[in-house]
Amino acid sequence: MDFYAVVDPATGEQVSTYPNTSDAEVREAVAAAAAAHAAWSTRPVSERAAIVRRIGELHVERAQELGAIIQREMGKPLADAAGEVEFSGAIYAYYADNAERLLADQPIELADGEGTAVIRPSSVGTLLGIMPWNFPYYQVARFAGPNLVLGNTILLKHASQCPESSAAIAAICVEAGVPAGVYVNLYATIAQLGGIIADPSVRGVSLTGSERAGAAVAEIAGRNLKKVVLELGGSDPFIVMSTDDLDATVDAAVFARNDNTGQACNAAKRFIIIDELYDAFLAMYTEKIHALGLSSPMSSARAATGLAEQVDRAVASGATLVSAGERHDTFFPAGVLTGLTPDNPVYYEELFGPVAQVYRAADEEDAIRIANDTPFGLGSYVFSTDQAQALRIADRLDTGMVFINGVGLDAPDLPFGGTKQSGFGRELGSLGIEEFLNKKMIRSVT
């Protein structure tokens, strides 16, 4: 296509279009970002932090307006969309508030005691961010916030269905005082990305998206010796070993699976329930998802069609589906799949939408086995009234994140990222600012 388009998933209406960035404009943008780095990176940290803080404030001030944009772009309910904007504002605020601490010199205690040595954090240059459609503001914030504070410059290629929100973010950056060239929004094509990554002035790439996209970007980056941070898919386990409030645990499970219409990389997708609780959990979970009905559309007709194909394949291969209703265009009913076995082709796939897989575990060892029997390793959830057991299970889960007895606990100061085919690198928290940071060692003997 020659343009990015906003297509309202609730109606199928094409709301607006934005022309692709031309090859000449891409070259100009890359050159502008490279030229802007010298001045931006040498400004005092406090000045960069003040600008980033204002970016966050503008997000919060315009939460409803910005939320309405992504409701049009990808179907998120307005209250949830505004909540995403406010959380994005909190991420910018976190990096602004902690910039000087995170970027302070780190003294090295010298073995010989002669002179001094420090690790001095500094920027690396221009970065390319390739962002997804499911959290249009949040994903940008966790990439842009730390790197703008650090002094890197940013080229931002958003998802093709999110041109309006990406333009809004760029406009906020200008209003907040970000100098020209420091944050550049690109309506780039897939074909143009290879050239951007290969450009000598681009020093790293951060991508949130599919395994296929991650592999393609990492291959180009690898050939050009560029660092990559990849946040890819997930098929997060939700393990229930014991509970003193099954109703509350099931409510947590429903939220963990169906928030954002199930379209989150770190959503709980596989529910692994200890044998003695399995029947009661499944009955209660099924009852609660029936009450959800068809509340929100999925992000696009393509997303709904892809999920339908996976679910149909799972059933054709022996799984059982209980659904909360009939599929209707982009409106996909919440559902429960049981009876999935390792020989079912969907067993090892990620279901990106409001359909849960539920498994029965014989004991703790069996629960851990099922949880780790996946190519993904993003997040995980463990529910147990026995804290020692929960921590024991957490230690053995092959994932980047574990949440015990709670959901929706993400925060600006908590690192986010995974292992295996879920990617590598971390965003958010103190680790998020270290991915594209030069840890320069300075030793002096005078």
pLDDT at 446: 76
Give me 248's structure tokens. Answer: 């509350």
pLDDT at 113: 82
The CATH class given to the 236-411 domain equals alpha beta
pLDDT of 296 over the 90 cut: no
pLDDT at 311: 97
In this structure, the strands spanning 355-361 and 403-404 are unpaired
The residue with tokens 């209980």 is 322
Annotated catalytic, 231? yes
The Cα angle at residue 176 between residues 171 and 178, in degrees rounded to 5: 80
Total number of residues shown for the chain? 446
What dotted CATH number matches 3-232+422-444? 3.40.605.10
Q: Give Cα separations from 291 to 142, 248, 255, 285, 304 (angstroms).
A: 34, 16, 13, 10, 20
pLDDT at 84: 98
Percent of the chain with pLDDT over 70: 100
Per-residue pLDDT band for 293 (boundaries 50, 70, 90) equals: confident
Tens digit of each residue's pLDDT (9 = 90 or more) over 30-78: 999 999 999 999 999 999 999 999 999 999 999 999 999 999 999 999 9
Q: Whole-angstrom Cα distance, residue 359 to residue 273?
A: 6
| Residues 6+ away with beta carbon under 8 Å from 362 | 275
Taking alpha carbons only, the member of 153, 44, 107 closest to residue 444 is 107
**Residue of 173, 265, 427, 435 marked active site:** 265
**Residue of 73, 84, 164, 231 marked active site:** 231
Give me 102's structure tokens. Answer: 């995170």
pLDDT of 109 over the 80 cut: yes
The residue with tokens 């050239």 is 195
Tens digit of each residue's pLDDT (9 = 90 or more) over 319-331: 999 998 889 899 9
Give me 250's structure tokens. Answer: 């099931």
Judged on CB neighbours under 10 Å (0-12, 13-18, 19+), 13 is exposed
The whole-number average pLDDT for the span 411-415 is 98
pLDDT of 133 over the 80 cut: yes
Q: Whole-angstrom Cα distance, residue 39 to residue 43?
A: 6
Give me 350's structure tokens. Answer: 């990620």
Query: Is the model's pTM score more than 0.85?
Result: yes
Where do the domains of the chain lie?
3-232+422-444, 236-411
The whole-number average pLDDT for the span 20-24 is 97
